[in-house]
Homo-oligomer: A and B are copies of this chain.
């Protein structure tokens, strides 16, 4: 999962930051899109430093805890560009987990399967509502695009589940 490295490089490309700052930014701006834990950021920053993709300077103001401020290096920018292109080309819809359930669905009484699908539908609606309420984001045009992407796939999923439920219903009635 190099996308985490890509994200950090991208944030450092925009401006130098220390680890805490990065985690703050993610929590405040990307919390709905990026499920990355704080300790992970610290670990990856170390890794990027060892690889020479970022440089680090310690900055201490008064008695406050020292900050490690990271900046992207030239090599880091090159790598970033390549990683980003690779990522944009990438196709990696991994709904394998969900497919297993679909695959085995016929092992469940239809009534129970339908109940489960209704619950799933409810969850999809909740997600859709949540993302539709997220306000327009000015700093990063990408945020809006990513949310739009999210919504597109959520709606496709919703349509598919509805179609599936329709099929099951007619099958039962026949």
A104 interface hit (Cβ, 8 Å): yes
Q: Is the contact region of chain A dominated by helix, strand, or loop, or is it mixed?
A: helix
Chain A 94-119 against B: per-residue CB contact (8 Å), 1 yes, 0 no?
11111111111111100011011101
Q: Mark A105-135, 1 if CB is under 8 A from B, else 0.
A: 1111000110111011001100100000000
- Interface set, chain A 1-46, CB cutoff 8 A to B: 1, 3-4, 6-7, 10, 13-14, 30, 33-35
Residues in B whose Cβ lies below 8 Å from that of A98: 87, 90, 92, 149
B-side contacts of A33, CB under 8 Å: 96, 99, 103
**Distance, CA A78 to CA B30, complexed state (A):** 39
Contact call A104/B120, Cβ cutoff below 8 A: no
Knowing A102-B142, A152-B159, A156-B152 are in contact, say whether A107-B95 is a contact too (CB < 8 A). Answer: no
Is A51 located at the chain interface by the 8 A CB criterion?
no
Smallest CB separation, A82 vs chain B (Å): 11
List residues of chain B with CB within 8 A of the CB of A127. Answer: 91
A residues adjacent to B (C-beta < 8 A): 1, 3-4, 6-7, 10, 13-14, 30, 33-35, 80-81, 84-85, 87-108, 112-113, 115-117, 119-120, 123-124, 127, 140-143, 145-146, 148-150, 152-157, 159-160, 164
